[in-house]
Structure 1
Amino acid sequence: MTRKQGGDAAQARQAVLAELRPGQSLELLQALHILTRDGLMNQDSRRKLKQVYHLYQFIAPLLDELAQDGHAPLLADHGAGKSYLGFILYDLFFKALGRGQVVGIEWRAELVQRSRELAQRLGFERMRFLDMAVADAAARADLPARFDIVTALHACDTATDDAIDFGLAKQARAMVLVPCCQAELARGLRRNKALNLARTPLAELWRHPIHTRELGSQITNVLRCLRLEANGYQVTVTELVGWEHSLKNELIIARYHGQRKRSAQQRLAAILDEFGLRPLLGARFGAPPVQAVASAAAGPGQGE
């Protein structure tokens, strides 16, 4: 390598270091394959790190608030994958705090094992990884009864709903969610397409497959927000990063305040009815089938 090449490489490494947060472990980023062994970063890794750092900006103030008065924050990271988010949260926040725990939940056993090995190698003693589906986590007997924060970064399709179920069951103080691949509702729209085209001109909004996918994604996230509001959360919806970095870019932040909004549950049910989705998705979003509602309204002995 010439002197000029060596100087260029050193400048490139310095530029990468300038993008990192203070105190960030280079060994961790190299182990996660965000940094190369030479301390450099490609565009794909840069996009990935940018997403996690942006999410960290939203989560860190919540952790600061929850860590007051000596409390040890407990965070569950659902659909953790390679646990980029969990590791970076621990490295930048939990490690210096000296208390609290990060629990990563991921169904792919090989990823869980790698995360366990990495946490042990780095001395991240208050990280725990569970090999299970998100949907099964709430019933896990050896998990605490309450969690402070629930996160899900690109938990695919209904895994985001499972993370919300977990957060509600564990009385989470906050949930930070970046949904991904919302396909379930789109399947329901396709199933009733012919009937709805005859019933309402609104069905033109999802007549074409690409519109079905996009509208299904939009409605799914609207229903999630209404469900959270109906269960006592204040909800903010924003972008995670610029669209040039990720098309899966919607960020839902929910903070518990305890005031359940009946109007939110009513609107949720009305949207399901408008799109003919209550039989398929009513149970998932806490809106029982119309027949069950009518029977309940009739009262004991009057539902025949």
Structure 2
Amino acid sequence: MKNKPASKEKRAQVKPVQNEQAQEKHEIRPGQSLELLKELHILTRDGKMNQDSRRKLKQVYHLYQFIEPLLQQVRSDRGSVSVVDHGAGKSYLGFILYDLFFKALNDGGQSRIYGIETRDELVQKSRELADKLEFPGMSFLNLSVADSTSSAELPDQIDIVTALHACNTATDDAIEFALKKKARFMVLVPCCQAEVAAELRKGKGDAVKNNPLSEMWRHPIHTREFGSQITNVLRCLQLEAHGYQVRVTELVGWEHSMKNELIIAEYKGMPARRPAERLAEVLKTTGLEGLSNRFFVPQ
């Protein structure tokens, strides 16, 4: 007796599951460890993704597209590559970088990723996961961004420095770290820049009271927005003053558009005087000269 063909209702029940699995398979990059994605809770134990995990994976992959060419460029020139990820958190980025790029290098462990994080429980979990997945070229340090600059656990020179959503002054600490470590590249996604806004709120001194542009931060909501904007402008000028070529773009796909700015800097050579002069002028005309030490330039 022949089996009856499946009813339209049953076929309709099967099709969406097949489509969902095909979509998830298509979204995962070739060579990506499924076990890693499960450990990072991007995939469930049965290999499925929800909307939140799909968004996280898309975000990390999008950022990887910016970083991969930098990794290739450094390795082509030097034979190995070192990365420090500041404010690493659960080290989504570090693990994805290692899985897609570092684990295939076979360079005797010369290439390495360092994750810097202040929360000890996250550092311990990252260490355990790296051991479990046999990722020997990953190190995780329980340090603040500022303390990492003088830590003996890190080499004197680092190729690429990343800081993604490092809150408030942590991004500036990461820039200082990168400058002292002579980093060739920096990849920065700034977050909640509160320090400059606080300085603006202290009041308008003689330097700005007759400046009509001070209207841009007269109202509290504008103070916050202008403070965020001017912070990144000052950072870019600082990097240019130190000899970096700076590109600013959107990190498309992140949930919060106010935290969607991506700064990529590449060291090109001698410090530049004009950006340093412009930075000093901006600090003076906005009454932010008290922050000169944070946005320091070559002497």
Normalising by structure 2, what TM-score?
Answer: 0.90
Match of 1:282 in 2: 292
Instruction: Check if 1:225 corresponds to 2:236.
Output: yes
Shift of 1:203: 1.9
SS in 1 for 2:187: strand
Q: Which runs of 5+ in 1 are unaligned?
A: 294-304
Distance 2:148 2:255 in 1: 34
Alpha-carbon displacement from aligned partner over 1:26-56 (angstroms, at most 9, x marks no partner): 1111111112223222222222222211111
Instruction: Check if 1:11 corresponds to 2:11.
Output: no
Match of 1:199 in 2: 210
Match of 1:78 among 83, 86, 90: 86
Instruction: Check if 1:211 corresponds to 2:215.
Output: no
Alignment coverage as a number of residue pairs: 287
Q: Percent identity?
A: 64
SS in 2 for 1:238: strand
Shift of 1:12: 1.2
Match of 1:141 among 152, 166, 169: 152
| Contact 1:75/1:102, CA 8 A, preserved across alignment | yes
Alpha-carbon displacement from aligned partner over 1:83-140 (angstroms, at most 9, x marks no partner): 0110000000001112311000000111111111111111111000000101100100
Q: Which moved more, 1:40-49 or 1:152-161?
A: 40-49
Distance 1:274 1:40 in 2: 54
Distance 1:43 1:177 in 2: 26
| Contact 1:107/1:133, CA 8 A, preserved across alignment | yes
Amino acid in structure 2 at the alignment position of 1:247 = M
Match of 2:272 in 1: 261
Q: Which moved more, 1:94-103 or 1:72-81?
A: 94-103
Match of 1:55 among 50, 63, 66: 63
Shift of 1:199: 3.0
Match of 1:189 in 2: 200
Q: 1:9 to 1:193 in 2, by over 3 A?
A: farther
Distance 2:255 2:118 in 1: 29
Normalising by structure 1, what TM-score?
Answer: 0.89
Match of 2:143 in 1: 132
Q: 1:29 to 1:151 in 2, by over 3 A?
A: same
Shift of 1:143: 1.3
Distance 1:252 1:277 in 2: 22
Amino acid in structure 1 at the alignment position of 2:127 = R
Shift of 1:244: 5.6
Q: 1:226 to 1:33 in 2, by over 3 A?
A: same
Distance 1:70 1:196 in 2: 48
Shift of 1:194: 7.7
Match of 1:92 in 2: 100
Instruction: Check if 1:32 corresponds to 2:43.
Output: no
Q: Which runs of 5+ in 2 are unaligned?
A: 1-9
| Contact 2:166/2:191, CA 8 A, preserved across alignment | yes
Q: CA RMSD in A?
A: 2.1
Q: Which moved more, 1:65-74 or 1:140-149?
A: 65-74
Distance 2:118 2:254 in 1: 28
Amino acid in structure 1 at the alignment position of 2:188 = L
Shift of 1:209: 1.7
Alpha-carbon displacement from aligned partner over 1:209-241 (angstroms, at most 9, x marks no partner): 221111111100011111111111111111111
Alpha-carbon displacement from aligned partner over 1:252-289 (angstroms, at most 9, x marks no partner): 0100111311010111111010110112x11101169x
